[in-house]
């Protein structure tokens, strides 16, 4: 299993490249990838906010996740979760999700909310996230993305 730690600001470019490789694994064309570049970019400021985590092992960084602090309703937003394509299916996503949910709960969240790439929706469902509807993509208005929530209090009971 990979180790999980906070990202460092000097890793922003490395993490952005990882996000791009991970998104591209679904076979999106160059125009789609170019349009999503801003959403896939990880900045040093985002990392400095303390919400960006990496999974690493002997091969280096193999995954990343970014979560926002909970809002007044107790919902924390999982903004990014990306895994090196060759490491998909090897427990990296599981390790990051466990860590992110623990971080969210420690910060006062009761729910983690996320919008998923349709190709990644089965991963979140297997992890126990409940589909709560669809929302329009900020990058592609009109493209509907599955919305999920993870009830952190319910996870304590399982």
pLDDT tops 80 at residue 155: no
Of all residues in the chain, what percent are helix, strand and coil, respectively (each to 5)? 40, 30, 30
**Number of C-beta neighbours around residue 27 at 10 A:** 7
pLDDT of residue 119: 94
CATH number of 3-157: 3.40.630.30
pLDDT tops 60 at residue 156: no
pLDDT of residue 64: 98
For range 123-140, the mean pLDDT: 92
CB 55 within 8 A of CB 95: yes
Domain extents for the chain? 3-157
Type and span of the H or E element at 31: helix 30-40
Task: Please enumerate in sequence order all residues whose Cβ is within 8 A of that of 116, keeping only pairs 6 or more positions apart, or say none.
Answer: 123, 124, 145, 146, 147, 148
């Amino acid at each position: 299993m990979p180790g999980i730690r906070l990202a460092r600001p000097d890793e922003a470019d490395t993490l952005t490249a990882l996000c791009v490789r991970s998104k591209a694994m679904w076979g999106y064309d160059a125009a789609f990838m170019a349009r999503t570049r801003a959403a896939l970019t990880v900045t040093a400021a985002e990392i400095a906010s303390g919400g960006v985590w990496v999974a690493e092992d002997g091969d280096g960084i193999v995954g990343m996740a970014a979560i926002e602090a909970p809002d007044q309703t107790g919902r924390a937003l999982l903004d990014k979760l990306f895994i090196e394509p060759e490491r998909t299916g090897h427990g990296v996503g599981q390790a990051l999700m466990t860590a992110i949910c623990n971080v969210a709960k420690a910060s006062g969240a009761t729910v983690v909310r996320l919008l998923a790439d349709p190709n990644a929706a089965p991963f979140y469902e297997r992890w126990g996230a409940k589909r709560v509807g669809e929302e329009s993509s900020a990058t592609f208005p009109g493209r509907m993305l599955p919305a999920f929530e993870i009830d952190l209090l319910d996870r304590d009971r399982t």
